[in-house]
Amino acid sequence: MKKYKWERLKALAIRNLQYRLHGGCFTDAHYHALFPAVIASIEEGTHKSVFDIIDEWTAKAIAIIDAWDIRKARKLLEAFPAIGPKNYTTIECDYDEDGDWAVYIS
């Protein structure tokens, strides 16, 4: 089993999220999906750009990931498959030798 520190996995997920949203992986389909939020901001009088909305939603997503505890390990790996091994069958969570939460994946 390979060991991953829980806080490290969350940091990798956040970095992956930021890259996908700000690193050029944003497609036209993503922009089209954001148009309703842009229109709503215009109707509310805040006039937010797509980029403002992306920044807000990124901050909200980071806060959610930061708040997750170890019980969300499987969900985190499903949402961000690039942060762990490609084909895993088992996930176990326990304290490591340093007293930190760790995720053991095989």
Give the residue numbers spanning the domain of 54: 2-105
Rounded CA-CA distance 59/4 in Å is: 24
pLDDT the model gives residue 47: 86
Token pair recorded at residue 51: 């980029």
Q: What angle do CA 32, 38, 40 make, to 5 degrees?
A: 120
Dihedral (CA of 39, 41, 45, 50) sign: negative
Phi/psi at 16 (5° precision)? -65, -45
Phi/psi at 4 (5° precision)? -125, 130
Q: How confident is the model over 14-69, as pLDDT tens digits?
A: 999 888 877 766 677 777 788 888 888 889 998 888 888 888 888 999 999 999 99
Type of residue at 45: G
Q: Say how many domains are in the chain.
A: 1
Cβ count within 10 A of residue 89: 7
Of 22, 54, 61, 19, the C-alpha closest to 38 is: 54
Type of residue at 39: I
pTM metric for this prediction: 0.81
Q: How confident is the model over 49-64, as pLDDT tens digits?
A: 888 888 888 899 999 9
